[in-house]
Amino acid sequence: MLKIKKYDTVALTETIQSQKVRRLLIVDDEAGILLLLRELFTPYYMVKTAQSGIEGISILQAGFAPQVIIADQRMPGMTGAEFLGESRKIVPDAVRVTLTGYSDIKEIIAGVNNGGIYRFVGKPWEDDELLETVRLCFEQYDLSTKNIELEAALEQVQKLNAEKNEILGIVSHDLKNPISVILGMTELMKPDAAFTLPLSDYQQFAQHLHRTALHMLQLVKALLDDYWLESGVIELSLVAVNLNVLVNFLVENYRQLSAEKKITLYVEASSEYTVLGDERRLNQVLDNLLSNALKYSPLGAQVFVRMREYDSAVRIEIQDQGPGLTEDDKTKLFGKFARLSAQPTGGEHSTGLGLSIVKKMVEAMKGKVWCESEFGQGATFIVELPMVKEV
């Protein structure tokens, strides 16, 4: 019988106690071996044991997630290599150790290839050696976990860096160009300009300056909205909102712009609808979608705004007769800084931030947003929000 020898390294116990719970699964078909190993490891780890690979799989499926697994190689029914291979499907990150007195090289190779085995320990073993091996296995688990965390952090940093570069590109292009236009026009409008402009030019310049400044303001607002949404600072006040009043107000605001592009705006609603939402943010969402519908529709087109009940929600559909979406467009539609194939039909500007902000705001209001479109057949953007029933 194997003699249990106390592992008298105080540092081991102190290290384990200072860290989160260490879980160890031991699988061996010999009850005596399991008893010895449980006695050896219980002072340091949370230990579960199984007398077969099938029982070990059941323990894992029941939710026990060990960082380290020890399995005997020679077991009836399911070998240690087979068990460890199956265990990888449930706890892929666990570190695996094989106990074996069986030296067949083919079995060892199968264990490495299929079971992802980190260490082999021969029978009979030395207690101190086995304790040290398992301690090193937990260290290996910590190291691999930290590597995964570092890779995720690096990926996030790279993503943020790419977004920063995108923002700098937008600022350098979408703000620098209009600023240059404003400076050029104001130079021509100075009293001491090289030549005097007719009054009609001043009026046209004033209109152009207003549109340019408005575009710059919208861009700055979009960047700020995205920042606050990402940081979680924006707090929504969810209240009952009369959707019909809100939609009709927005549509009336766009009558002049739609008339300039000879676009006919239609509103369709079979009833009065009240939804749960933040009125200011919902206004911003629908304003963005309606603006896009007009922006990408050709001269003389029609734009429809429909409201209808669907289960316990209300759907707002904004349908345009623009170019529609390609398959590539659909994959990046609600992405940040997404640039789609369609171009505004009246020289309007786009930051590529609008739809990503729309999605975040709608989801923050417990709703959903998506688009249905076939290339060349226009697009329909659909916002679904919880409906408030009249008491």
Looking at residue 85, which CATH number applies to its domain? 3.40.50.2300
Q: What is the mean pLDDT of residues 93-119?
A: 66
The overall average pLDDT reported for the chain is 81
In this structure, the dihedral spanned by the alpha carbons of residues 56, 62, 66 and 69, taken in order and rounded to 10 degrees, is 10
Same domain? 225 vs 265: no
Same domain? 287 vs 353: yes
Taking alpha carbons only, the member of 341, 333, 337, 386 closest to residue 359 is: 333
Tell me whether strands 23-27 and 46-50 are parallel, antiparallel or unpaired. parallel
Same domain? 200 vs 247: no
pLDDT band at 302 (very low <50, low <70, confident <90, very high): very high
pLDDT band at 2 (very low <50, low <70, confident <90, very high): very low
Whether 2 is covered by a domain: the verdict is: no
Q: What is the mean pLDDT of residues 374-391?
A: 88
Q: Give the Cα separation of 290 and 273 in Å (integer).
A: 19
pLDDT band at 4 (very low <50, low <70, confident <90, very high): very low
The pLDDT of residue 391 is above 80: no
Higher pLDDT, 21 or 49: 49
Tell me whether strands 302-310 and 264-269 are parallel, antiparallel or unpaired. parallel
pLDDT band at 174 (very low <50, low <70, confident <90, very high): low
pLDDT (tens digit, 9 = 90+) per residue, 184-221? 878 777 777 656 667 777 777 887 788 778 777 777 77
Q: Which of 124, 149, 174 is the last residue of a domain?
A: 149
pLDDT band at 1 (very low <50, low <70, confident <90, very high): very low
Burial class of residue 89 (count of CB atoms within 10 Å of its CB; 0-12, 13-18, 19+): exposed
pLDDT band at 390 (very low <50, low <70, confident <90, very high): low
Higher pLDDT, 360 or 164: 360
Higher pLDDT, 58 or 217: 58
Same domain? 269 vs 311: yes
Higher pLDDT, 126 or 349: 126
pLDDT of residue 116: 59
Whether 391 is covered by a domain: the verdict is: no
Same domain? 250 vs 353: yes
Same domain? 222 vs 164: yes
In the chain, the number of structural domains is 3
Q: Give the Cα separation of 206 and 193 in Å (integer).
A: 16
Higher pLDDT, 15 or 47: 47
Same domain? 57 vs 82: yes
The pLDDT of residue 329 is above 90: no
Higher pLDDT, 336 or 113: 336
Same domain? 35 vs 173: no
Whether 154 is covered by a domain: the verdict is: no
Q: Which of 149, 170, 199 is the last residue of a domain?
A: 149
For residue 340, count other CB atoms closer than 10 A to its CB: 18
pLDDT band at 17 (very low <50, low <70, confident <90, very high): very low
pLDDT band at 5 (very low <50, low <70, confident <90, very high): very low
pLDDT of residue 351: 58
Same domain? 95 vs 173: no
Q: What is the mean pLDDT of residues 68-79?
A: 89
Q: What is the mean pLDDT of residues 298-321?
A: 93
Taking alpha carbons only, the member of 312, 313, 308, 311 closest to residue 380 is: 308
Q: Give the Cα separation of 192 and 342 in Å (integer).
A: 43
Q: Give the Cα separation of 312 and 316 in Å (integer).
A: 14
Whether 296 is covered by a domain: the verdict is: yes
Q: Which of 203, 231, 259 is the last residue of a domain?
A: 231
Contact 317, 380 (CB under 8 A): yes
The angle, 0 to 180 degrees and rounded to 10, between the axes of the packed helices 279-296 and 243-253 is: 40
Name the 3-class secondary structure at 74: coil
Same domain? 274 vs 218: no
pLDDT of residue 3: 38
Domain that holds residue 39: 10-149
Same domain? 174 vs 120: no
Q: What is the mean pLDDT of residues 63-90?
A: 90
The pLDDT of residue 150 is above 60: yes
CATH number, domain containing residue 298: 3.30.565.10
For residue 375, count other CB atoms closer than 10 A to its CB: 16
Same domain? 51 vs 106: yes
Residues 6+ apart with CB under 8 A from 289: 318, 358, 381, 383
Whether 49 is covered by a domain: the verdict is: yes
Whether 332 is covered by a domain: the verdict is: yes
Burial class of residue 216 (count of CB atoms within 10 Å of its CB; 0-12, 13-18, 19+): middle
Whether 263 is covered by a domain: the verdict is: yes
pLDDT of residue 349: 60
pLDDT (tens digit, 9 = 90+) per residue, 249-297? 999 988 888 888 999 999 999 899 999 998 988 988 998 899 889 988 8
pLDDT of residue 194: 57
Whether 321 is covered by a domain: the verdict is: yes
Higher pLDDT, 117 or 335: 335
